[in-house]
Chain A
């Protein structure tokens, strides 16, 4: 008797995305209050991050967001295979993002900058907090990228087996929404960490 209710699915997804934003919201609050206390140290901290990595990763995520949107509109226009390809592209870009991130983290860790490291602990308080937040927030975001990639993979599978098709694509739309959220959060993280210098 259950009629499908794509509207409800979308409403539910929006509410869930809301909770995700609030999850990051706690960290943003921490960021804001420490930035207020240690503006100079945050400035110094920001200088030590690679603007190139940050910019490239921003571009990657923006393109990937465009790719999911393309995938959905391709499905609309009945071009299933394009839709699937676009999904694969999105996943690929997400993975490239993660690889970049891994390199970036690795660089920092190799330089001895990681939470509770001897090097970091000798730095001024503000910088300790800056890098602490950097790892926490980009880490949590990274986990979301990973989850997003998994969801996209599921969507790809469902497209192949026909669980998602032209008249029933609420799932794909929701996965797309999730991916946009991941992108959106990054768009906030990018200036907070890389452009603050």
Chain B
């Protein structure tokens, strides 16, 4: 079969290179734009993280003064959360593969898709501007808690406005996905034949639509307060600072599920493909995504157990928090059960998936300590929380993202990375990761508060160990990125379906063509019904 031009090759429609990329309506190209911009921000955020660790290697001032440190962790948090993990998988691999997995040509609103990328860029420009204008970069932490964010003289205005813009970018992506999934499923693609990745994006889309507007208005209020002093959160005018926290977390808790659900979707797609076996409990896995999205919207105040809200509220929110843990547990159990009596191929994506399961479990289980009211009082706002969220975000979403890269990049580019190096990088990453973050959990149990640029001497050994771990992690990251990017550009060509997947993206050519499908495909079987023929060796 003659190959079509890859989608990233120029098309003969006379548009220049810049126009054909920056103003493209093609979901694949938009996905690639997102991929590179997000990776760039990831790099920036990681550098900031590395510098933070460097400052913390010893007590006292090592590299920078307190103000610089405060700015650094704020930027680190804002960049990582709003610029990297919230768009992450949906905006990149979601954009590229959602329409293909549905058998569609594109998303429902290609132009809005492009608009949301441009809003992302606009937000990025604003954040960069905030560094150099006004009273200097913001120093509030990524949570922008009032009243501090209202009184600090740093440039909080631009930063919250950037977050506002990014919020709408994220809403548009969610809106696009939900509509696409409703309207553009091809012939035979019933709801129970949707790949689990699509299910997870569907649940994510709803959270983006429902939760993000509240964030948008909340951070906007911070800005309005700074300009006009309306007093919504100002106790001297009768306002209540706790209401800000409620409004903020009404979004930001569901947002953590925006981060993790797509990664769970990726893992749910990868496990069956490499076990050559239908996923165990398809309906439960799909349904649990919706359950997480729903129940996850009701637990926001578990970030506020020490804030002084009523004890009854603590009771309710602690209880609901444990309820959201149940669907996550269901997923983990079902993934492991899927392996039973499969025929397992241990290629790199599968390694990353296994690492994901372990790291996410550690993160999730530490989340239970936080969800339980009595214990959270002790570890709230300590390094235990920092450890928890790096485990779930970086160990969960991050490793999910790496798994997705190793799974799909060969498909996108038509070229293969070096599998052996990929496995080694996975091992180094795994070791470095635990080395870096496990000490943080212990530090939290010792009582070390977060957002400290300087600390008491008893915390030194673990902080020191953690910093050493960050260098191991750095090594792993370098090896992995070099390997996979080199593979993407220069690797040896790969066949259309290296992993033997059954979802629609594996039925078209690699590298992906301009037109997804020559004619609308028809689906006759579920996404994970593999023939028992086994498969070739891709690596």
A residues with CB within 8 A of B:
1-2, 5, 7-8, 11-12, 15-16, 18-20, 22-27, 29-30, 33-34, 37-38, 115-116, 121, 124-126, 128-129, 132-133, 135-136
Contact = CB atoms under 8 A, between A and B. Distances in A.
B239 A129 contact: yes
Contact of B182 (A11, A27, A34): A11
Given A8-B108, A33-B243, A129-B231, A18 B209 contact: yes
B213 A8 contact: no
B151 interface: no
Given A11-B182, A128-B238, A25 B232 contact: no
B213 A25 contact: yes
**Residue among B210, B221, B237 with the most chain A CB within 10 A?**
B237
Given A1-B105, A26-B214, A129-B238, A19 B229 contact: no
Nearest to B212: A19
Contacts, number: 102
Contact of A15 (B105, B209, B216): B209
Interface string B181-222: 011100000000000000000000000011011101110010
A171 B183 CA distance: 18
Contact of A26 (B171, B175, B213, B228): B213
B460 interface: no
Contacts of B239: 129
Chain B's interface: helix, strand, loop or mixed, by majority? helix
15 contacts: A1-B515, A8-B109, A8-B183, A11-B183, A20-B213, A26-B214, A26-B221, A30-B243, A33-B243, A115-B228, A115-B230, A116-B229, A126-B238, A129-B239, A136-B221
A116 B213 contact: no
B166 to A, nearest CB: 14
Contacts of B237: 121, 125, 128-129, 132
B224 interface: yes
B247 interface: yes
A5 B108 contact: yes
List of 5 A-B pairs having minimum Cβ-Cβ separation, nearest first: A125-B238, A116-B229, A26-B217, A22-B213, A132-B230
B183 A7 contact: yes
Contacts of B232: 30, 129, 132-133, 136
Nearest to B515: A1
A37 B239 CA distance: 10
B502 interface: no
Contact of A116 (B180, B183, B228, B243): B228
A22 B183 contact: no
B214 to A, nearest CB: 5
Contact of B218 (A26, A34, A37): A26
Given A18-B209, A25-B213, A12 B238 contact: no
